[in-house]
A and B are shown apart, each in its own frame.
Chain A
């Protein structure tokens, strides 16, 4: 079962066992992880599920599309090289992924 490690801006961490095929955003929203809004439900039109992915886990993430890239430019918190929109990070079997939630999504 995939596991997502969510770190809040204050450093606190929650670990959620996810479902294969669900995204990091869906897993957060279903389990009440605060700080990931995902208002558009995962169709790349809100930029409110921005996360910073741990460097070590980046390679295992699916490649970024042009649309995700464009939306990351307009997120509320400035993007970093390890920024992703968590609705685009579908979980695969056995994956552990560590993400940090930015200060602001809205």
Chain B
């Protein structure tokens, strides 16, 4: 991948270049440290969409994400191509992620209460029960198991089905729609178009049904939102429902897989988790989000960023001028290894107390499903290791690079 530079046998020179090519994870963290010491951000020419400032330092990232002079309008209107490491799927530009206040505020509030910390706390018991059902299934079937297929994916899909009020038997369709719409390669345009059409039909039916027979679920609140606020149109409501279905589980499944894999690679941290799985699951999840990708036993590149913003005027962040019209984004992995904020950033420590990682972003566009994702990850990790404390890897994971979220598609385990 030319963007990250080629892997090489030559010794890595102690420099502060960014982006940088694949290297052992610990060396990647050291490189982040040098980059952070050198400058708050780097202007990177992205494979798509041109130049973008990529922010490295934690405080600078927070300043950026809390500053409303940075907006997404030029991407939404199509005036500019989103600077990104892959071609950004078009339909995502119509979703909440690309709205700015005040419309963003109005739309986001519609769904936020349905995925609030409290609502998610109420869902926790059913998540624990379902995780245990899945573990029962794996134990019955016997080792080895593909942990992604048997556990990491079905759990968030079940929770999403509960939240949306749809039968989890629609799971296979969810998986197909999601993988089709988030595919960055390996699918034909016809396949994608046909899957999107099917998803739009499914969603339209669901909303029509909830208008007739409201229930206590998220789609009912969406379906009836226009009664509370008559400025809301179906054209505004549909993309929200759309986003929830296609993005509502795959990142969570990825991080559940990453969390389990990282713990299987660290005997020390796994032993620590086993001393108190429920008590440690919350800090463990924050640490998996911050650093889990670096503990998979795979080389790490430096690059990759969250969705960018565009400066509406000249803004100085941490001494760097970001000129009006320039694009800017954060690299959450780099930000999560800022030694000014995280002590021993290369250390995987599931009991790390202060862990303001930004994998779920920060500010008004922080992950809409964050409370749900956290709860699912906590439950998934705690229940699995409680029930199967001697879980072991039974092979190498498979990763799909043709998909926007670069998911793990298989994680063979035994016990």
Q: Is the beta-carbon distance between B371 and A106 smaller than 8 angstroms?
A: yes
Is A19 part of the binding interface, using a Cβ–Cβ cutoff of 8 Å? no
Q: Is the beta-carbon distance between A76 and B118 smaller than 8 angstroms?
A: yes
A34 vs B353: C-alpha distance in the bound complex, in angstroms? 8
Q: Which of B320-365 contact A (CB under 8 A)?
A: 353-354, 356, 360, 362-364
Given known pairs A41-B362, A43-B105, A67-B109, the reply for A105 and B354 (CB within 8 Å) is: no
Given known pairs A41-B363, A70-B113, the reply for A46 and B66 (CB within 8 Å) is: no
Given known pairs A40-B366, A45-B108, A76-B121, the reply for A106 and B360 (CB within 8 Å) is: no
B376 shortest CB reach to chain A, Å: 12
Is B374 part of the binding interface, using a Cβ–Cβ cutoff of 8 Å? yes
Interface SS, A side: loop
A63 shortest CB reach to chain B, Å: 20
Is A62 part of the binding interface, using a Cβ–Cβ cutoff of 8 Å? no
Interface size class of B (residues with CB under 8 A): 20 to 34
A32 vs B343: C-alpha distance in the bound complex, in angstroms? 13
Q: Is the beta-carbon distance between A41 and B370 smaller than 8 angstroms?
A: no
Q: Which of B49-75 contact A (CB under 8 A)?
A: 62, 65-66
Q: CB-defined interface of A47-79 with B at 8 Å, one 1/0 digit per residue?
A: 110000000000000000001001101111000
Given known pairs A34-B354, A45-B364, the reply for A39 and B117 (CB within 8 Å) is: no
Q: Is the beta-carbon distance between A39 and B282 smaller than 8 angstroms?
A: no
Is A2 part of the binding interface, using a Cβ–Cβ cutoff of 8 Å? no
Chain B residues near A34 (CB-CB < 8 A): 353-354
List the 10 closest A-B pairs by CB distance, nearest first: A74-B116, A76-B117, A41-B363, A41-B66, A74-B118, A43-B364, A39-B366, A45-B112, A34-B354, A74-B113
Interface residues of B (CB under 8 A from A): 62, 65-66, 101, 105, 108-109, 112-113, 116-119, 121, 282, 353-354, 356, 360, 362-364, 366, 370-371, 374
Interface residues of A (CB under 8 A from B): 29, 32, 34, 37, 39-48, 67, 70-71, 73-76, 104-106
**7 A-B pairs, CB-CB below 8 angstroms?**
A40-B364, A41-B66, A45-B364, A48-B117, A73-B113, A75-B116, A76-B117
